[in-house]
Structure 1
Amino acid sequence: MRKILIPTDFSANATNAINYALELFKYEVCIFYFMHAFQDDIYTDEALLTREALSETTKIVGDQSQKELETTLKDVKERCPNPRFSYRIIASNNVLVDEADKIVDEENIDIIVMGTRGKTNDRKLSFGSHTLQVLKYVACPVLAIPEGYKYTQPKHVLFPTNYLIPFKRRELKLLCEMLFPFRAKIDMLYVSINDGLSLRQEDNKAFVAESLRKNNVNFYTVKKKQITRTINAYINEKAIDMLVMVNTRHSHLENILFQSRFDKIGLNINIPFLALQNIKRDT
Structure 2
Amino acid sequence: MKKILIPTDFSKNSKNSIRYAVDLFKENPCQFFILYINIEGSNITEKPVYEFGTNVLVEIEPKAISHKLKDLEKFIASLSSKKEHHHFTTMREQGYFLTTIRKHIQEKEIDLIIMGTRGASELKEFFIGTRSGDVITKVECDVLVVPDKAKFKNFKQVVIPIDFEVDFDDSILRKIANNLNSEKAQIKLLYVTKSQMPLFEEIELQQEQLVQRLSEKLPNPISFHRVVSKQIEDGIQIFAESMNADLIIMISKDYGLIQRSFLDTTVEEVSFNTSIPLLSLQG
Q: TM-score, normalised by structure 2?
A: 0.75
Q: 2: distance between equivalents of 1:105 and 1:203?
A: 36
Question: Which amino acid in structure 1 is aligned with residue 265 of structure 2?
Answer: N
Residue 82 of structure 1 corresponds to 83
Residue 174 of structure 1 corresponds to 175
Q: SS of the counterpart of 1:181?
A: coil
Alignment match of 1:124 (pick from 112, 121, 126)? 121
Q: 1: distance between equivalents of 2:263 and 2:157?
A: 20
Q: SS of the counterpart of 2:154?
A: coil
Q: 2: distance between equivalents of 1:29 and 1:85?
A: 6
Please state how far the C-alpha of 1:182 moved relative to its aligned partner.
Answer: 6.9
Residue 264 of structure 2 corresponds to 254
Give yes or no for the alignment of 1:214 onto 2:219. yes
Matched positions, count? 253
Is the contact between residue 156 and residue 185 of structure 1 (CA under 8 Å) also seen in structure 2?
Answer: yes
Structure 1 gaps, min length 5? 45-57, 279-283
Q: SS of the counterpart of 1:91?
A: strand
Q: SS of the counterpart of 1:89?
A: strand
Percentage identity across paired residues of the two chains = 28
Distance 1:69 1:141, change over 3 A: same
Residue 47 of structure 1 corresponds to none
Please state how far the C-alpha of 1:128 moved relative to its aligned partner.
Answer: 4.7
Q: 2: distance between equivalents of 1:23 and 1:94?
A: 30
The Cα offsets for residues 19-72 of structure 1, whole Å up to 9 and x where unpaired, read as 11111111111111111111x2x459xxxxxxxxxxxxx995445334422321
Q: 2: distance between equivalents of 1:241 and 1:229?
A: 17
Give yes or no for the alignment of 1:273 onto 2:278. yes
Residue 25 of structure 2 corresponds to 25
* 1:64-103 → structure 2 map (5 Å cutoff): 64-80=64-80, 81-103=82-104
Please state how far the C-alpha of 1:132 moved relative to its aligned partner.
Answer: 3.4
Please state how far the C-alpha of 1:90 moved relative to its aligned partner.
Answer: 1.8
Is the contact between residue 153 and residue 182 of structure 1 (CA under 8 Å) also seen in structure 2?
Answer: no
Q: 1: distance between equivalents of 2:106 and 2:216?
A: 28
Q: 1: distance between equivalents of 2:93 and 2:74?
A: 19
Residue 8 of structure 2 corresponds to 8
Q: 1: distance between equivalents of 2:245 and 2:164?
A: 21
Residue 186 of structure 1 corresponds to 187
* 1:194-213 → structure 2 map (5 Å cutoff): 194-197=199-202, 208-211=214-217, 213=218
Structure 2 gaps, min length 5? 43-57
Is the contact between residue 141 and residue 171 of structure 1 (CA under 8 Å) also seen in structure 2?
Answer: no
Please state how far the C-alpha of 1:222 moved relative to its aligned partner.
Answer: 4.3
Q: 2: distance between equivalents of 1:84 and 1:253?
A: 42
Is the contact between residue 228 and residue 235 of structure 2 (CA under 8 Å) also seen in structure 1?
Answer: no
Is the contact between residue 5 and residue 32 of structure 2 (CA under 8 Å) also seen in structure 1?
Answer: yes
Please state how far the C-alpha of 1:79 moved relative to its aligned partner.
Answer: 1.8
Residue 104 of structure 1 corresponds to 105
Please state how far the C-alpha of 1:133 moved relative to its aligned partner.
Answer: 2.4
Larger mean Cα displacement after TM superposition, 73-82 or 223-232: 223-232
Residue 47 of structure 2 corresponds to none
Q: 2: distance between equivalents of 1:267 and 1:34?
A: 23
Distance 1:204 1:184, change over 3 A: closer
Q: SS of the counterpart of 2:264?
A: helix
Is the contact between residue 241 and residue 271 of structure 1 (CA under 8 Å) also seen in structure 2?
Answer: yes
Is the contact between residue 155 and residue 182 of structure 1 (CA under 8 Å) also seen in structure 2?
Answer: no
Larger mean Cα displacement after TM superposition, 29-38 or 222-231: 222-231
Q: SS of the counterpart of 2:145?
A: strand
Q: 2: distance between equivalents of 1:144 and 1:150?
A: 13
Q: 2: distance between equivalents of 1:141 and 1:266?
A: 14
Q: SS of the counterpart of 1:139?
A: coil
RMSD of aligned alpha carbons: 3.3
Q: 1: distance between equivalents of 2:164 and 2:120?
A: 33
The Cα offsets for residues 83-127 of structure 1, whole Å up to 9 and x where unpaired, read as 12111222111222221111112222111111135xxxx962444
Question: Which amino acid in structure 2 is aligned with residue 124 of structure 1?
Answer: S
Q: 2: distance between equivalents of 1:100 and 1:204?
A: 34
Q: 1: distance between equivalents of 2:61 and 2:213?
A: 48
The Cα offsets for residues 126-179 of structure 1, whole Å up to 9 and x where unpaired, read as 445289321122111111011222333321111010121123543432221221
